[in-house]
Amino acid sequence: MKRVSFLAVLLFVVSYISFSQHTKPYINFKETIHDFGEFKESDGLKTHIFSFTNTGAQPLVLHKVNASCGCTTPTWTKRPIPPGGKGEIKVVFNPANRPGNFNKTITVSSNAENPSVVLRITGKVLEREKTTADIYPAKMEGLRLESTHIPFTKMTPKQKKTEQLKVINTSDKPIKVTFINVPKHLKIKCTPETLKPGEAGVIIASYDAALKNDWGFVVDNVFINLNDERNYKNRIAISANITEDFNSWTEEQKQNAPAISIPEKVFNFGEITQGDKVEHKFKVTNTGKSTLIFRKIKASCGCTAIKPDKMELAPGESTFITAIFNSAHKKGRQNKSITIISNDPKATNVLLRISGNVKVE
């Protein structure tokens, strides 16, 4: 009898302690991790429901539920959940274009005593077999290409490079691939020149930076003729970033390098009336130990940069770069830029900005 009474008292104490621990709302999940295991990308969306109970003594309200990735979409119980009540968080994972292992988190914020709980979904997406459209996403009539851009990335002024672009004939007729509007610094051809139905080939492009004779990021558009027919929608962009080869400089050259100094890199012209022009002079000084050479001065659309009197500055020498902004046909907030490319190894590209507001009367 004494033992039964002792157990009753013990249960009462445990219940009291348990209740006193959760006088506020308390969110208690049945599980906080779900493993989807392995599945195919082509299987589509995967869904799991995380169930929870409010084991506290006050109504539970979920403030927000945030996923760590846009591929994961949560929805949840919006109504207040009374003590002892249940709710759920539905999580949908989209495996499209996400092959491989994944580990995503969902953070649950509420008014609970445990205000932030992290849920987790894991698994492995088995990559689907790629289609022709996946491999060659760009389409020009019956010809498909892996891209409409051939990037030569970083090049030195005298460098030559060759890049390739994969293509395939998806039509039921042969396609002859030729090119027009090809500048002298580029050589480009398709191998084979005539592609049979279903046949794959490559566009081979060679770039001669010395013949381009330019600096910075440059782009050329080359048009593609299919079976000798012109369609100016069929074109590819060929780009390169031509920069000084400072890696070849000796330690002495680096120590005695030029240094471009522009105290004021931003000019705000305030507010002007549409049609007005604004002119500003940016002072440029060579604070280095050898001749500073301006390789290129380029303005963005709507702004004109006038070349300085001198394109080379001796140590300690200064000049001005004049920028003219024409507000014709423009309105509202304006931000224009001027890029200066020089032989300063620590500041090859310097960006100047002109900004302000254009009002229409």
- Which superfamily does 20-126 belong to? Immunoglobulins (2.60.40.10)
Question: Distances in Å between the alpha carbon of 2 and those of 10, 13, 14, 16, 159?
Answer: 12, 17, 18, 21, 97
Give the SS3 label for residue 2: helix
**Residue ranges with strand state E in 192-331:** 194-195, 200-208, 216-226, 235-242, 260-261, 266-273, 277-286, 292-299, 303-306, 312-313, 318-326
pLDDT tens sequence across 124-166: 999 888 899 999 999 999 999 999 999 999 999 999 999 999 9
Per-residue pLDDT for 5 more than 80? no
Q: So what's the pLDDT on residue 257?
A: 96
pLDDT tens sequence across 6-23: 545 444 444 444 444 568
CA distance linking residue 306 with residue 311, whole number of Å: 11
Percent of the chain with pLDDT over 90: 84
* 34 in Cβ contact with 84 (< 8 Å): no
Q: So what's the pLDDT on residue 12?
A: 46
**132-242: CATH class:** mainly beta
Comparing 132-242 with 251-359, is the CATH topology the same?
yes
pLDDT tens sequence across 41-93: 989 999 999 999 999 999 999 999 999 989 999 999 999 999 999 999 999 99
Q: So what's the pLDDT on residue 22?
A: 67
Q: So what's the pLDDT on residue 16?
A: 43
CA distance linking residue 1 with residue 40, whole number of Å: 63
CA distance linking residue 216 with residue 157, whole number of Å: 10
Q: So what's the pLDDT on residue 9?
A: 45
The predicted model gives 21-38 an average pLDDT of: 91
Q: So what's the pLDDT on residue 21?
A: 58
Query: What is the pTM assigned to this prediction?
Result: 0.69
pLDDT tens sequence across 186-243: 999 999 999 999 999 999 999 999 999 999 999 999 999 999 999 989 999 999 999 9
Every domain of the chain and the residues it spans: 20-126, 132-242, 251-359
CATH code, 251-359: 2.60.40.10
Phi then psi for 236, rounded to 5 degrees? Answer: -125, 145
* 87 in Cβ contact with 156 (< 8 Å): no
Q: Which two tokens stand for residue 358?
A: 């254009």
**Residue 301: how many CB atoms within 10 A of its CB?**
7
